[in-house]
Amino acid sequence: MPDTLPTQADTATPQAAAPLTINGTTIDATFAEAFPMKATRLVITAHTPTWAMHAANSLTGFATSVIGCGCEAGIERTLAPDETPDGRPGVAVLLFAVSSKELAKQIGRRVGQCVLTCPSTAIFGGIDAATSRAPLSDAAPLGSGLRFFGDGWQIAKMIGTTRYWRVPVMDGEFVCEDTAQTVKAVGGGNLLLLARDLDAALAATEAAVAAMRRLPNVIMPFPGGIVRSGSKVGSKYAGATASTNDAFCPSLIGLSPRSELSAEVGCVLEIVIDGLTDADVGAAMTAGIAAACEFGRAAGMLRISAGNYGGKLGPYHFHLRELAAGLGGSRA
């Protein structure tokens, strides 16, 4: 399955500048190209942390790429009872889609099928319009649609200026905020980690994802945060919108005229990052670069690159060497 709507390397930035290395790992003179999306944060609470996480895992399932899943979603972080609206354990999830209409559709379907159904859960909007750093977009239906499951037994409750719905279910009540605020967001930030072999690639990429997950406002939507099936736009086969990124496939070294790999590269893995703002994506990418470079060339972490289309896809350009500028390193 190809990754997020085309962000993988197709046109690399010429590397005329002196090479930049950190701990022996080369940082390519290229940039990741990202594009606008719509996003929201939802806060799921439950009687225990386990059941909040069950609902969050279900809601964010099959949500790696807008190409085939309708949205990109992931768990942002767990929440202590003093961080949630109802004082119970919770999980914050982020959802991203290419339009407000698609985001609203995905919210309704996923909450209805994965949170309403889960024992003891409640759900609330997690974007504070008063303090959000991301530009506000629309308010997506949440309880305003799900309330009909109550078959006329549902009850509206106003607390301050916020409307909630209480829907009777077999373990008590499902409490759901009426709407969820959405924001303008950024999708498709990415890093390509080029390593000597699979073990080295996995170790460095897993560490990079772990570092990124410590930051707020971002998700890495693919399994374990990692992508092996980086894609390019188009295909030799009619009807296929994306195909394998042969420029970064080690098995095609010497075969593909587009190959950007040297013979020592045995594995390439990618991290795709979605964030509420471009600053959030940039911060996550910097954290990922730093964590990967801790391994260095001696441990098989050879190069870090990124996917772009020469600046033609999206307005957000994350230049790797600018992100890595504060991490030390040397130029040959």
Angle ∠(29,221,106) on CA atoms, nearest 5:
130
Q: What is the pLDDT of residues 279-328, one digit of tens each?
A: 999 999 999 999 999 999 999 999 999 999 888 889 999 999 999 998 87
What is the tens place of the pLDDT at every residue in 156-188?
Answer: 999 999 999 999 999 999 999 999 999 999 999
User: DSSP string covering 227-266, please?
Assistant: BS--EEE--SSTT-SEEE-GGG-GGGTTT-TT----TT--
Give the residue from 168, 183, 198 where a domain finishes.
183
Three-state DSSP state, 321: helix
Residue 272 inside a domain? The answer is yes
DSSP secondary structure of 180-199? EEEEEEEEEEEEEEEESSHH
Question: What distance in Å separates the CA atoms of residue 172 and residue 232, rounded to the nearest whole number?
Answer: 49
Asked if residue 235 is part of any domain, the answer here is yes
C-alpha span between 261 and 216 (Å, rounded): 33
pLDDT of residue 267: 98
Domain carrying residue 144: 36-183
The reply to whether 229 and 292 lie within a common domain is: yes
* Residues 201 and 323 occupy one common structural domain: yes
Please say if the pLDDT value at position 99 is more than 60.
Answer: yes
C-alpha distance from residue 22 to each of 183, 291, 314, 328 (Å): 36, 11, 28, 7
In the chain, the number of structural domains is 2
Structure tokens at 176: 């759901």
pTM of the model: 0.92
Q: Is residue 197 part of a domain?
A: yes
Answer yes or no: do 216 and 173 share one domain. Answer: no
Q: Is the pLDDT of residue 16 over 70?
A: no
pLDDT in tens, 124-165: 999 999 899 999 999 999 999 999 999 999 999 999 999 999
3 belongs to a structural domain: no
